[in-house]
Structure 1
Amino acid sequence: MKSNSVKKSVFTVILTLSTASVYFAQQKKDTISRETDIEAVVLTGVADIAKDRKTPVAVSTIKEAQIVERLGNQEFPEILATTPSIYATKGGGGFGDGRMNVRGFDTNNTAVMINGVPVNDMEGGTVYWSNWAGLSDVTSALQVQRGLGSSKLAIASVGGTINVITRAADKKEEKNVSVTVGNNGYLKSMFSYNTGKNAKGWAASFLMSRTAGAMYIDGSDFEGYNYYMALGYQPNKTHDFQFTFTGAPQWHMQNYQSSIATYIKYGNGVDEPNRRYNSNWGYLNGEKMSQSVNYYSKPVMSLNWDWTMSEKSKLSSVLYASWGRGGGTGVLGSINGKNINALPKTADGLIRFDDIYNWNQGVNVADFGAVNKTPGIATRTNGLVRRAHVNSHDWYGFLTNFQHKINQEWNFSVGLDGRYYYGYHPGVITDFWGNREYRENLNMNQQPYYSVTQAYNAAPSANPFAKAIKDKSQIASRNYDGEVMWLGTFGQVEYSNDIISAFVQGSVSEQWFQRIDNWIVDGVTKQQGQVVNTKTGFKDLLGFNVKGGLNYNLDSKNNVFVNAGYYSKQPNNYAVYPNNSQVLNPRLTNEKIASVEAGYGFRSSAFRANVNLYYTTWKDRFTRVSGINIPVTGNGTAINAYANLLGVQEVHMGAEFEGTLKVTDYLDFNGMFSIGDWKYKNNPIGELFDNNNNPLTDVPNATQNQVTLALDGVKVSDAAQTTAALGFTLKPVKPLSIFSTWRYNDNLYGVFNIDNNFIIKPDGTVPNNAKRGALKMPSYNLFDAGLSYAFDLGNAQKLILTGNVYNVFDTVYISDGKSSTHIKDLSDFTATPTQTAQQQYDAYQANLKTWKGIDQNNTVYFGSGRTWAATVSYRF
């Protein structure tokens, strides 16, 4: 977060270029082309990689050359934006804040695997791409299996499975260096070296990179590093060992969604939004300051062993460990009852951190209200400090897979999958903003409060094995842990010949959850009317899956396939112990997923295409909805509440097309089209609680604290249900590659706010807002373009220039809809003693402001405008 970050990066690049006799990338014969079989780059046998015209699943593969050529300064998930049924955006626009959905499912329900090892967080199932920002540097291939996929593990592959295959240690000897520059001061320098395999079977690979600058939005400064070390040893043809250690420590400023009206206010004030606007930042003593900074380091270590036991048998195993360290910042406290986002801002919409600092010290800030009565002392209700919620963990696991070939057509495999995870979730103060202490009052063991005086830097430690918690006496805001254990077994039987391939596989897993609250008084504190303990004790849940598929090659060009499966999936830790409490969910049940899919493929020398149809149901999904304003019977007031939704069901169905056409040796086209129909199917029950976890019983249309919510038919939000792309690659001369892609996204629905307007009345009446469901966002088109040119300098030396421009025409579009405020009609108003419904409607219309046909009160993220990146690579 220092102002000289970019200067430091420039110095690093100059020093590297002037002292290193190294080069970037690989010899042409070793570069993985689009036609190369992905099996050639698989690091270990535990990775379940789909094979063309054999594995009966919907699959798309992106090779290393395409990632290097086209990713530039985009987010890693964005390389998948031209894949059917995948919606990828930059999210809030901060470094590493990109997100993606597969067939309408986010990464909580899409399995992400690196070399066959699952990396979804074991507590919540999430994948934070900022933790994996360096993957683009070391990825040899990226395969997306949509649907249940071919993985034998009992993993969260409801939407699909993303397999990231990293480079192996035994690549040909090479030395690499590259420099990438981009918009907003983006600067990346990268160095790598592969020794190649020597006569004794040893090989090593090393990579280091640094990236710094800012993203498209304002207040998005960042700095990140990536390191990758691999050591391979193949003493003979029987054994192959691969050791890897990689991490990507980073910090970056973040962004929250704002209303369209706010974006326009800080734009031209009429109809042009300021897409760069970020409400989270400002200046403190002349330095950039953000209330929201994410910082994290998640090194991952693995040891892979492939043992070819005989011509028919092979054992593949991996031991792995991960040590996540870091968290995200936010703000504690208020000033005269106002949180930081409600305080007056500058004319440009920036947070006035200097004035916050002064008010905390007792200075009279006129438009902040009354002067601070306790200068220098912050509490939960007086004064502001910046805290970080730490989300660190220790994760250890093993995976082993035995494969045996019975004969030329039959084979089977069996294996074990074990994991242990301990998550640390304390809070710490990262900036006192002029205060000298913060008084914490939520620790029941230290009442009425204790003083926190130490501030921690919101940046990852240089030590990848740093302690998750440093000083327990300085914890603020919260202090709980989560413990998860997992043991699974899996098996598969496969039949395959030149015409037919079929498989049946299944897995069974046991998962144990425990929550540890370090701030309650053991055996005394009550939550939801129950006496609770510091440790809940483990709750175990049994899950399983079974799936099978068949592929039939009609001839050398045509094939068809079908697959089907059923999952009984354990819910995540936050569903087992909901409401951030020690009380076990009394209605805990596994989620049930059933899916069926059919596909057709065509292959010729000039044209390749795949068509897929799918249908997936997801039942008994646990969902917690917060921030609901519920009117309470009697006094007419509203209570801020949350609801636990029971029996939620979704149905996702759709069709997909993906194809490539080689017109000549100099020109080829690629395209895709996908259309989905993703919606809720039933009207679930919602259990209402206030923010103190007490059931709300005095609520209109409620039985006890339960209400029926009108969700049947409501569209699933947060991902475009219709996507299309068309691109070309032109090579007029051998060293030159020119490429461009058009993308189209439609049927993107905003997040709908479940509130009292979704409650079905006792007589069965469904409120208008529920009938309208999720709000459809405007569709949009994007164009990207780029080129690459390789100068042959002789003696196997090459200088490669690559450039990309994204959103060439600077299209203004909404990438993420975060609310669903519909434009009202006359039926939304009822007559009052002073106004008719028509008069109310007319007054509403007079004040209504829209943008592209939607209410400006909707909160959104706008997509980035025109951005660019250029890379210089030197090879010899």
Structure 2
Amino acid sequence: MNNSLSNLFHLRRQDFIFILLAFLGFTFAKAQEKVQDSILPHYLDEVLVKAVRVNATSPITHSNVSKEALAKRNLGQDIPILLNFLPSVVTSSDAGTGVGYTYIRVRGINAQSTNITLNGIPYNDAESLGTFWVNLGDFASSVESLQLQRGVGTSTNGAGAFGASINVLTDAVSEEANAEISNSFGSFNTRKHNIKFSTGKLNNHFEIAGRLSQIKSDGYIDRASSDLKSYFLQGAYVDDNRLIKAITFSGKEVTYQAWNGLEDLDLLENDRTFNTAGMYTDEEGTIRFHENEEDNYQQDHYQLHYSERINNYWSTNLSLNYTHGQGYFEQYKEDQDFEDYDLEEITIGGETINSTDLIRRRWLDNDFYVVNANANFKKNKLDMIFGGSYSTYDGDHFGKIIWARNASSSEINAPYYDSNGKKKDLSFFTKATVNLNDKLSLFGDLQLRLVDYKTTGLTSDRIPLEIDENYNFFNPKAGITYRFNRGNHLYFSYARANREPNRDDFENNETVKPEQLNDFELGYRHQSEKFSINTNLYYMLYNEQLILTGDRDNVGNPIRTNSGESYRLGLEIEAAVKPIEWLTIQPAVTLSSNKNKSTVISKDGSLVDLGKTNISFSPEVVVSNALVFNPAKDFDIALLTKYVGEQFMGNTDSEASKLDSYFVNDLNVSYKLSFVKASNEKSPFIKSVNFTALVNNILNEKYVSNGYYYTYDDTWSVPNQTTTIEGAGYYPQATRNFLVGATLKF
């Protein structure tokens, strides 16, 4: 890899920000040059994400979500929960409320295999490959639109999509000045407060906009509190042919840990909010809970986007990004061996002491730089996009002891492990859509992705972790769309994806391999005034898919393993029916079969071939529906229904690993009160007030949407005999609860 390019990404943060400001000044100056032929600013906004999105007739299975649709449920819950009613989606929350640590799976695909981009910038953590939505508190309030692609989808930036991708476009440039104040309150002392503003286009070119938010919740689970602070600030310049955006946003989260779940079935039935996190026994034998058993993390993002329409055929985009993350999670640990923390035995009063109670913090401190560039050529029947992305990540992992009952020779904040991970990701792609005639179009997409990943130092268990891997991935995609007429499309696509293991995979399995997917999609779309339907048949054929075992490591991260050959075969149906003017019905159904072709396990000391088994966390039935009533203008009442069939938390089809099916209903009400000026009056100070109410789980269902499953061999209870013991943990979700809010727009 080019050394000069690599060295660019080892600049100090201050240097990088200076470069951003200098570049911004240069492009603002350049923007004063006159270019002919106007183009809508809205199009320039979409250029930011055009490289990773597809259009309505593309042979890629997708769903679009607008700003208006998000606003009707946006009362403080995270983005995954707001997407809960899209096809093939299953969501969960540690705290049970949708605030704090939340998760989304699409077609049974875990978070580590779902690609997330913000304005085309990769958001997945470079090492874990996961997405931590908790660091994006109230981000939905700054989203203009998002697109969820199911399957491999189109080529994207960052870690490859291995079953789904979500790309988010933040707020567009506002034509007029505006401001809003939003407040919501609800069960479990949940509340959200935010203010937003936009100057509108000053001098017909410049805009400054921003948001400041705080979300707090005590959580449904005991002590599973969340305190999320965030901001979003945007400066933009726009004219007929270019758009320049400088964006910064940040999230600071403090959440009390709730990732232990419940392993006691009696507690699950009779005290389902019980939280074992932070629990310890004091010197008098009294059970207590550590008050700071918390996750404390801040993530700061800086983005610069320059989009330009060069002429009637060419448009370009250049994006720069810098992200800094820093924080820790704190734990009270009892009876810890000195040797596990590099401490020496001590002798007090003739007694040798080699263990202690202690409080530790495990830290992350990382920097992430990205450069994206693409060009779009569109003329007559040809639409082509060329692009590339380069990112570099530098992350420190380290642990500190901040208190110990028996401190040995250590000092406060004594370090006990330290490691570093460096990752470079370079990719190039070319995409093209060719309309052969009025009915037939072809789509092609070629991507080359090069990954370089190195680690040094010790894991949190003080085990050396030396990774030095290079991956070269070629990901071709092709599709065809046939238009019967304007409202009826038939499409077929094939896509291949390759994806590297993450840091945890290397820690938990010395022989881990990259995974490969061949994805076949056949779909039909119909669109008319009162009825629309999207149907899709998919077959996802995997080689060495990294599936969840159901178990977790000692810091709560899910453990994955290669599964040899496996597949996902499914049918998705998404529709909208408007039988009468005041009623809309929006069902979504997924029926699937998700199988490991061959599973061999160790049980009771012997290898057992189980043959074909179900893939973990992959329900065969996922159904949702929305009944939306419109009794008056700007007044919506929606009954939202979700059914998720039974699923296994492991890959052995064991009854001990089964999660029961659940059926949940929500009621969502929104009403907009507008203040319209008379022809001879000034504009009212308050333009509108939006009232929103959400009652979740109105039937008070006691359900579990996520959990974990583990086994271990008992070799000590009976001499010369091995017995495999199974265990499971569960994350209960909230029973009936509500949120109400009001937004004043000025």
| TM-score between both structures, scaled by the size of structure 2 | 0.82
Question: In 1, Cα distance between the equivalents of 2:537 and 2:181?
Answer: 44
User: Which amino acid letter does the alignment assign opposite residue 516 of structure 2?
Assistant: K
Q: Deviations over 1:749-786 (max 9, x none)?
A: 2235xxxxxxxxxxxxxxxxx57477433222111002
- Report the Cα distance in structure 1 between the residues aligned to 2:560 and 2:431, rounded to whole angstroms: 37
Mapped partners of 2:551, 2:71: distance in 1: 43
Shift of 1:791: 2.6
The answer (yes or no) to whether the contact 2:563–2:596 under 8 Å persists in 1 is no
Match of 2:576 among 654, 660, 667: 660
CA gap 1:777/1:625 in 2 versus in 1, 3 angstroms: closer
Tell me which residue corresponds to 1:190.
194
Amino acid at match of 2:481: N
State whether structure 2 residue 456 is matched by structure 1 residue 484. Answer: no
Alpha carbons of 1:41 and 1:659: their partners in 2 closer, same or farther (altered >3 Å)? farther
Counterparts of residues 94-173 of structure 1 (less than 5 Å): 95-153=99-157, 155-173=159-177
Distance 1:510 1:659, change over 3 A: same
> Do residues 789 (structure 1) and 713 (structure 2) align?
no
SS in 2 for 1:136: helix
Q: Distance in 1 between matches of 2:157 and 2:362?
A: 32
Which runs of structure 2 are paired with 1:497-512 in the superposition (5 Å)?
A: 498-512=438-452
Tell me the distance in 1 between the aligned counterparts of 2:181 and 2:546. Answer: 48
Distance 1:540 1:700, change over 3 A: same
Alpha-carbon deviation of 1:128? Answer: 1.3
- Tell me which of 275, 278, 292 is aligned to 1:278: 275
Match of 2:496 among 563, 566, 576: 566
Output the CA distance in 2 between the equivalents of 1:82 and 1:55. Answer: 22
Task: Check if 1:391 corresponds to 2:392.
Answer: no
User: Is the 1:413–1:492 Cα contact (8 Å) retained in structure 2?
Assistant: yes
After superposition, residues 685-834 of structure 1 pair within 5 angstroms as 710=609, 712-751=611-650, 770=652, 772=654, 775-795=657-677, 796=684, 797-819=687-709
For residue 382 of structure 2, the aligned residue among 399, 410, 426 is 410
- What SS is found at the alignment partner of 1:739? strand
Report how far residue 643 of structure 1 moved. Answer: 10
Q: Contact 1:45 / 1:316 at 8 angstroms: preserved in 2?
A: no
CA RMSD in angstroms comes to 3.7
Deviation at 1:297, TM superposition (A): 1.0
CA contact (8 A) 1:259 1:856 kept: no
Asked whether 1:242 is paired with 2:245, we answer yes
1:248 Cα deviation from its structure 2 partner: 1.2
Q: CA deviation at 1:334?
A: 1.0
* Inter-CA distance 93–502: structure 2 relative to 1 (3 Å threshold): same
- 1:301 corresponds in structure 2 to 302
Tell me if the contact between 2:51 and 2:385 (Cα under 8 Å) persists in the aligned partners: no
- Quote the Cα distance in structure 2 between the aligned partners of 1:749 and 1:118: 31
Aligned 8 A contact 1:280 1:291 in 2: no
* CA pair 573-778 structure 1, distance change in 2 beyond 3 A: closer
Equivalent residues in 2 for 1:41-60, closer than 5 Å: 42=46, 44-52=48-56, 54-60=57-63
Tell whether the 8 Å contact from 2:210 to 2:232 is kept in structure 1 after alignment: yes
- For structure 1, which segment, 76-85 or 773-782, has the greater mean C-alpha deviation from structure 2 after superposition? 773-782
CA distance in 1, matches of 2:549, 2:616: 14
Contact 2:573–2:590 (Cα < 8 Å) also in 1: yes
Deviations 1:432-461 (A, max 9, x none): 27x3x745xxxxxxxxxx51314xxxxxxx
Distance 2:736 2:381 in 1: 53
Q: Is the 8 A contact 1:42 1:115 kept in 2?
A: no
Give the 3-state SS of the residue equivalent to 2:72 in structure 1.
helix
1:262 Cα deviation from its structure 2 partner: 4.1
Match of 1:578 in 2: 507
- CA distance in 2 between counterparts of 1:330 and 1:721 reads 38
CA distance in 1, matches of 2:359, 2:352: 11
How far residue 63 of structure 1 moved from its aligned partner, in angstroms, is 1.4
CA distance in structure 2 between the partners assigned to 1:519 and 1:727 by the alignment: 47
Worse overlay, 665-674 or 606-615: 665-674
Question: Alignment partner of 1:751: what SS?
Answer: coil
Distance in 2, matches of 1:141 and 1:539, equals 36
Contact 2:225 2:256 in 1 (8 A): yes
The structural deviation recorded for 1:249 is 0.6
Alpha-carbon distance change, 258 to 451 in structure 1, aligned in 2, over 3 angstroms: same
Question: How big is the shift at 1:327?
Answer: 2.6
Q: Which residue of 1 aligns with 2:594?
A: 678
The amino acid across from 1:592 in the alignment is: Q
Residue 483 of structure 2 aligns with which residue?
553
* Distance in 2 (alpha carbons) for counterparts of 1:622 and 1:819: 16
Mapped pair 1:176 → 2:163: no
Decide whether aligned partners of structure 1 residues 43 and 489 sit closer, same or farther in structure 2, where only a CA change above 3 A counts: closer
Given that 2:211 and 2:232 are in contact with CA atoms closer than 8 Å, whether structure 1 keeps it comes out as yes
Cα distance change on mapping 1:720 and 1:654 into 2, 3 Å: same
Partner of 1:757: none
Q: CA deviation at 1:289?
A: 3.5
Partner of 1:358: none
Rounded to whole Å, the distance in 2 between the matches of 1:787 and 1:624 is 37
Q: Contact 2:329–2:362 (CA<8 Å) still a contact in 1?
A: yes
Question: Which residue, out of 506, 528, 540, partners 1:604?
Answer: 528
3-state SS of 2:267 partner = helix
Q: Deviations over 1:247-288 (max 9, x none)?
A: 111101121111242415xxxxxxx43222212246999997
Q: For each residue in 1:389-418, what CA deviation from the matched residue of structure 2 results, as whole angstroms up to 9, or x when unmatched?
A: 11221000101111223x301232222210
Q: How many residues align?
A: 670
Q: Could you report, residue by residue, the CA deviation over 1:349-375 in whole angstroms, capped at 9, with x for unpaired residues?
A: xxxxxxxxxxxxxxxxxxxxxxx9869
Q: Aligned with 2:650: secondary structure?
A: coil
Provide the C-alpha distance between the structure 2 equivalents of 1:202 and 1:541, rounded to a whole number of angstroms.
43
Secondary structure of residue in 1 paired with 2:647 = coil
C-alpha displacement of 1:147: 0.6
Letter in 1 for 2:419: Y
Aligned with 1:218: secondary structure?
A: coil
Contact 1:46 1:317 in 2 (8 A): no
Counterpart mapping for 1:203-602 below 5 A = 203-234=207-238, 236-255=239-258, 256-264=260-268, 272-281=269-278, 289-290=290-291, 292-334=293-335, 382-405=355-378, 407-430=379-402, 432=403, 435=405, 438-439=407-408, 451-454=410-413, 474-476=414-416, 478-496=417-435, 498-517=438-457, 536=466, 538-575=468-505, 577-579=506-508, 585=510, 587=511, 589-602=513-526
Q: CA deviation at 1:153?
A: 4.3
For residue 861 of structure 1, the aligned residue among 712, 731, 741 is: 731
Which structure's residues are more often strand, by fraction? 2
Distance 2:313 2:545 in 1: 42
Structure 1 gaps, min length 5: 1-36, 265-271, 340-371, 440-449, 455-473, 521-525, 630-641, 689-698, 702-707, 753-769, 822-831, 834-839, 841-854
The percentage of counterpart residues that share the same residue type is 19
- Give 2:357's aligned amino acid: L
Query: CA 1:820–1:480 in structure 2 vs 1: closer, same or farther (change >3 Å)?
Result: closer
Within a 5 Å distance, the mapping from 1:78-97 to structure 2 comes to 78-91=81-94, 93=96, 95-97=99-101
Structure 1 SS opposite 2:108:
coil
Per the TM alignment, residue 93 of structure 1 is displaced from its structure 2 partner at its CA by 3.2
Contact 1:57 1:150 in 2 (8 A): yes
CA distance in structure 1 between the partners assigned to 2:88 and 2:644 by the alignment: 10
Structure 2: which amino acid aligns with 1:814?
Answer: V
TM-fit CA distance, 1:329: 2.5
User: Does structure 1 conserve the Cα–Cα contact (< 8 Å) formed by 2:329 and 2:361?
Assistant: yes
Deviation at residue 45 of structure 1 after TM alignment: 4.7
3-state DSSP class of the match of 1:714? strand
Unaligned runs of 5+ in 2: 1-40, 341-345, 678-683, 712-717
Cα distance change of structure 1 residues 677 and 622 upon mapping to structure 2, 3 Å threshold: closer
Paired with 1:176 and 1:565, the residues of 2 have a C-alpha distance of: 43
CA distance in 2, matches of 1:99, 1:623: 16
Q: Distance in 2 between matches of 1:628 and 1:63?
A: 36
Between structure 1 and structure 2, the one with the greater Rg is: 1
Go from structure 1 to structure 2 and tell me whether the alpha carbon gap of 1:601 and 1:207 turns closer, same or farther (over 3 Å shift). same
Deviations 1:616-654 (A, max 9, x none): 12212457969899xxxxxxxxxxxx9995663321110
Query: 1:645/1:191 Cα in 2 relative to 1: closer, same or farther (>3 Å)?
Result: closer
